[in-house]
Amino acid sequence: MRATKQIHHDCVQKLQAIETSPIFMAVLGSLLDENWTTPSISELRIARNDLLLGRSVGEADFKAFHCVKRGLIRNIHRLAAVAELDGDELGYLLGKVAGIRGIN
């Protein structure tokens, strides 16, 4: 059984090599505590209407993405197939999504 640090490392290695939109790459980077874009997303939140919100480094306010939580999950599943994530890696990434706090 792999340690969480190794699963994280393997996710980073596989996902970093995939070409996707800059916004989705920023979201993935934020989920994995990686700085893959400029500006990077320092914090993600989920609004009451299930909308994904992000705050860039140095910004005071959250901005809405054109994505709801279930859309993010669907996109991660699609990306997992392309990046050939295994079950542990997909579970780790989905766990990160589940850990996104809500915003009032």
Q: What is the DSSP string of the chain?
A: ---HHHHHHHHHHHHHTS---HHHHHHHHHHTT---SSSPEEEEEE-TTSEEEEEETT-SS-EEEEEEHHHHHHHHHHHHHHHT--HHHHHHHHHHHHTPPB--
Q: Is residue 104 part of a domain?
A: no
Question: What is the mean pLDDT for each group of 10 consecutive residues in the chain (104 residues)?
Answer: 92 93 92 90 93 91 89 95 96 96 85
Q: Is residue 103 part of a domain?
A: no
Structural domains counted in the chain: 1
* Cβ atoms of residues 55 and 43 within 8 Å: yes
pLDDT score, position 47: 93
Strand 41-46 vs strand 63-68: parallel, antiparallel, or unpaired?
unpaired
Q: Is residue 23 part of a domain?
A: yes
pTM: 0.91
